[in-house]
C-alpha cells in the first residue's frame, strides 16, 4: 500500500541514488605508496548539482510531514542546482583540480583521465579500475556525491556540507591502497565517515538567502572541497 511506504530522508536517498554509500575505510598503505610516483586521476564528470535540505520542515507531523519535507527539499535543490549550473569551475571540477594540484606540489606526476570510467565492484563498496588503461602506477577517483546546504531540526541556519569519497588503487595488482569517506562542514553524526571541521564557514538564514548569494554559496562549498582535498593528500603522502 502506498501510504505504508516509509519516508526516506533526502540525504540518505541521495546516497542511495549516487551508488556511493559509505564504504569501509582503508587507511593509506605507506609501504605500497612509497613506490607510487605517477597517479592517474579519473574524472567522473559529475554535473554541477547541489542539495538544499531542511530537516525541520515536517517535524512532528509523521509521514505527512516527511512527505512535505521531501517535496520542499527536492524543489529547493532543483532550484539551487539550476541557479549554479553555469558556475565555473563546477563543484566536481574544483574538487578534482584541488586534489591533482596538491599532489603535483608534492612531486607526483598526474594524468587526468576523462574518456574512461570505472565500474562499481560487485558489493558496490568500491570502484573497479580493472578496465582503466593507463601507464600510471595507481588510479585515483575522488568525488562529492553529496554537496550542498543543510538546516538541522535544531538550527535556524543552513550550513555547508560536502561528502567526499576517495579511492586509490594499484594499477597492476588492483590492490586497494587507500579508501575513505569524509564529511566537511556540517557533521553527519549518524553516518560512519571521517569528519573534517572547516573554519569560518558562512551560514545562511534561509533558502532564499542561499539563492540570493548563489555564487558565494558555491564558493563556500568549493572551500570545503579544498579542505577535504588537502586532507586526502596528507593521507596519501604521509605529511
Residue from 177, 182, 207, 178 nearest 193 by CA: 182
pLDDT at 155: 81
Q: Is the pLDDT of residue 159 over 70?
A: yes
Mean pLDDT of 190-217: 87
Categorise residue 204: left if φ over 0, alpha if ψ from -120 to 50, beta otherwise. Answer: beta
pLDDT score recorded for residue 187: 76
Determine how β-strand 127-128 pairs with β-strand 119-120: antiparallel
Question: What are the tens digits of pLDDT across the range 77-107?
Answer: 999 999 999 999 999 999 999 999 999 999 9
Q: What's the CA dihedral at 215, 221, 226, 228 to 10 degrees?
A: 180
Residues near 17 by beta carbon (within 8 Å), at least 6 away in sequence:
none
- In this structure, the dihedral spanned by the alpha carbons of residues 69, 74, 77 and 83, taken in order and rounded to 10 degrees, is -130
Q: How large a percentage of the chain has pLDDT more than 70? A: 82
pTM of the entire predicted model: 0.85
Mean pLDDT of 60-75: 65
**What burial class does residue 151 get, using C-beta atoms within 10 Å of its C-beta: 0-12 exposed, 13-18 middle, 19+ buried?**
buried
Strands (E), 99-212: 109-113, 119-120, 127-128, 138-151, 159-170, 176-185, 194-196
Mean pLDDT of 54-59: 63
- Cα dihedral: 202, 239, 232, 138 (round 10): 160
Dihedral sign, CA of 233, 234, 238, 239?
Answer: positive
Q: What is the pLDDT at residue 3?
A: 37
Q: In Å, what is the CA distance from 25 to each residue of 166, 187, 193? A: 10, 18, 8
Q: Quick check: 12 pLDDT over 80? A: no
| Amino acid 56: pLDDT | 65
Give the pLDDT score at 87. 93
For the chain, the distance separating the N- and C-terminal CA atoms, rounded to the nearest angstrom, is 55
pLDDT at 197: 81
Name the domain count of the chain.
1
**pLDDT score recorded for residue 202:** 86
pLDDT value at 58 more than 50: no
Q: Is the pLDDT of residue 179 over 60?
A: yes
pLDDT above 80: residue 146 = yes
CATH of the domain at 21: 3.30.160.150
- Report pLDDT for 21: 62
Give residue 112's domain range. Answer: 2-237
- Average pLDDT, integer, range 41-55: 91
Amino acid at each position: 500500500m502506498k501510504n505504508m511506504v516509509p519516508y526516506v530522508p533526502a540525504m540518505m536517498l541521495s546516497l542511495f541514488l549516487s551508488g556511493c554509500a559509505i564504504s569501509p575505510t582503508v587507511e593509506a598503505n605507506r609501504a605500497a605508496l612509497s613506490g607510487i610516483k605517477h597517479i592517474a586521476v579519473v574524472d567522473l564528470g559529475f554535473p554541477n548539482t547541489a542539495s538544499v535540505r531542511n530537516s525541520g520542515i515536517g517535524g512532528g507531523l509523521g509521514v505527512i510531514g516527511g512527505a512535505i519535507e521531501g517535496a520542499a527539499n527536492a524543489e529547493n535543490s532543483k532550484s539551487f542546482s539550476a541557479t549554479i549550473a553555469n558556475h565555473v569551475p563546477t563543484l566536481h571540477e574544483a574538487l578534482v583540480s584541488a586534489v591533482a594540484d596538491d599532489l603535483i606540489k608534492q612531486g607526483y606526476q598526474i594524468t587526468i583521465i576523462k574518456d574512461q570510467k570505472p565500474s562499481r565492484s560487485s558489493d558496490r563498496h568500491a570502484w573497479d579500475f580493472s578496465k582503466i588503461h593507463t601507464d600510471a602506477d595507481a588510479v585515483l577517483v575522488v568525488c562529492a556525491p553529496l554537496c550542498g546546504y543543510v538546516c538541522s531540526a535544531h538550527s535556524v541556519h543552513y550550513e555547508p556540507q560536502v561528502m567526499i569519497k576517495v579511492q586509490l588503487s594499484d594499477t597492476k595488482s588492483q590492490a586497494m591502497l587507500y579508501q575513505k569517506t569524509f564529511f566537511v562542514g556540517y557533521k553527519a553524526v549518524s553516518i560512519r565517515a571521517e569528519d573534517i571541521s572547516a573554519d569560518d564557514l558562512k551560514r545562511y538564514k534561509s533558502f532564499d538567502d542561499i539563492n540570493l548569494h548563489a555564487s558565494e554559496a558555491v564558493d563556500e562549498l568549493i572551500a570545503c572541497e579544498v579542505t577535504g582535498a588537502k586532507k586526502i593528500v596528507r593521507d596519501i603522502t604521509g605529511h
